[in-house]
């Protein structure tokens, strides 16, 4: 009896090990942004050991980096938002870049040429912002929070906005004017591919079902920070698709307080409150029923 139980327990353990070994490791796609660049002196020689700090203006967090022997720095996988950049090196004046915006899947390049001087002296750079996608050849359309909440959407279905992107169409556009569900919901046709050929991501995780590639979960447009539709030349991290990649990110907490009140019968917001701690401001807009 004991021998039979031991054999049974052994078979169960072997089955569990085999299952774990055969399982695919789930990897989420990148839903963040990157800042990279080269720090040099006035002659163009690279500066090793320079300190580069990106500060998130919305959340107050800082992301430090140090240049290597070639003067290159990389600040990887930081949340999308508004950032300022501070560069410091011994024997050189501190360089400060004013806030600029990073968007979903963007790699912004910021090269800095330092000037000799005391670290306490600060040079503020004006009129320069990172170019979008200078490190990538992908073709994409970005939809930010203002666009998703401002444009009229009958069913508040953000997927309907994908039809505004070049290369996206549908034989029955009306099918995207209804709330997304798991039964025959409309999705865009990207560059002639079927609607089942798209890949939908939510915060870097696959957001679809395997039978007909329907969208698994559709967040409210008020909850979306931004979403990006990649139609061509997506990087190697995106796979298992032939059409387009729709990658959405959800809003996270920030220092400013922001609240939105809406009615289920209203097409415009009834009240919006924004402000910083200890300073709230309200503005009323007209309601329609």
Same domain (yes/no): 172, 233? yes
Establish if 61 belongs to a structural domain.
yes
Q: Are residues 163 and 106 in the same domain?
A: no
The mean per-residue pLDDT over the stretch 219-225 comes to 89
pLDDT in tens, 166-201: 999 888 888 887 776 666 678 899 998 988 888 888
Residues 246 and 145 both lie in one domain? yes
Beta-carbon count within 10 A of 88 CB: 17
Verify that 109 and 177 share a domain, yes or no: no
The CATH number of whichever domain residue 94 belongs to comes to 2.60.40.1120
Q: What is the mean pLDDT of residues 230-259?
A: 78
Asked if the structure places residue 3 within a domain, the reply is no
pLDDT value of residue 131: 56
Same domain, 61 and 143: no
80 and 148 belong to one structural domain:
no
Higher pLDDT, 50 or 123: 50
Say if residue 6's pLDDT is above 70: no
**279-284 β-sheet, strand order:** 257-261, 271-276, 279-284
Q: List, for residues 72-119, the tens digit of each pLDDT value.
A: 999 998 988 899 999 999 999 999 999 998 888 788 899 999 999 887
> Does residue 149 sit in the same domain as residue 105?
no
Q: Is residue 243 part of a domain?
A: yes
Give a yes or no: residue 129 inside a domain: no
* 162 in the same domain as 191: yes
What pLDDT does 277 receive?
44
**Statement: residue 54 has pLDDT above 60:** yes
pLDDT of residue 260: 56
Considering the domain architecture, whether residues 102 and 150 belong to the same structural domain is answered as: no
Last residue of a domain, one of 68, 93, 124: 124
- Residue 116 domain-assigned (yes or no): yes
Considering the domain architecture, whether residues 84 and 146 belong to the same structural domain is answered as: no
Within-domain flag for 241: yes
Same domain, 112 and 155: no
**Residue where a domain terminates, one of 124, 153, 180:** 124
Residue 197 is predicted with a pLDDT of 87
CATH number (domain holding residue 189): 2.170.130.10
Structure confidence at residue 265 (pLDDT): 41
In a domain, 19, yes or no: no
Q: How confident is the model over 119-157, as pLDDT tens digits?
A: 777 777 776 666 556 667 778 888 988 888 888 887 888
Mean residue pLDDT across the chain:
77
Show the tokens assigned to 271: 């009240």
Look at residues 74, 93, 124 and tell me which one is the last residue of a structural domain.
124
- The predicted structure's pLDDT at residue 243: 87
Q: How many domains does the chain have?
A: 2
- Which domain range does residue 84 map to? 33-124
Q: Is the pLDDT of residue 281 over 70?
A: no
d(CA 97, CA 57): 12
More confident residue, 25 or 165: 165
Predicted confidence band at 235 (pLDDT cuts at 50, 70, 90)? confident
Cβ proximity of 73 and 50 under 8 Å: yes
For residue 258, give both structure tokens: 């922001």
One domain, residues 160 and 230: yes
Q: How far apart are CA 106 and CA 115, in angstroms?
A: 28
């Amino acid at each position: 009896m004991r021998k039979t139980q031991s054999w049974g327990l052994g078979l169960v353990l072997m089955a569990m090990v085999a299952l774990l070994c055969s399982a695919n490791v789930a990897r989420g796609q990148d839903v963040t942004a990157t800042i990279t660049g080269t720090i040099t002196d006035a002659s163009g020689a690279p500066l090793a050991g320079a300190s580069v700090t990106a500060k998130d203006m919305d959340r107050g967090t800082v992301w430090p980096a140090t240049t290597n022997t070639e003067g290159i720095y990389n600040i990887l996988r930081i949340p999308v938002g508004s950032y300022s950049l501070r560069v410091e090196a011994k024997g050189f004046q501190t360089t400060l870049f004013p806030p600029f915006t990073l968007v979903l899947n963007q790699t912004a390049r910021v090269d800095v040429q330092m000037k000799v001087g005391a670290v306490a002296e600060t040079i503020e750079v004006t009129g320069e912002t990172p170019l979008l996608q200078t490190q990538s050849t992908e073709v994409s359309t970005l939809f930010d929070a203002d666009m998703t909440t401002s444009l009229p959407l009958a069913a508040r279905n953000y997927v309907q906005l994908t039809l505004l992107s070049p290369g996206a169409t549908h034989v029955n556009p009306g099918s995207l004017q209804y709330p997304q569900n798991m039964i025959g919901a409309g999705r865009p046709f990207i560059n002639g591919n079927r609607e089942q050929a798209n890949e939908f991501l939510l915060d870097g995780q696959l957001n679809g079902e395997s039978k007909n590639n329907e969208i698994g979960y559709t967040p409210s447009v008020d909850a979306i920070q931004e979403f990006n539709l990649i139609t061509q030349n997506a990087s190697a991290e995106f796979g298992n698709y032939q059409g387009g990649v729709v990658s959405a990110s959800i809003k996270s907490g920030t220092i400013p307080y922001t609240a939105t009140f809406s009615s289920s019968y209203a097409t415009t917001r009834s009240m919006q409150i924004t402000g910083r701690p200890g300073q709230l401001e309200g503005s009323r807009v007209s309601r329609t029923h």
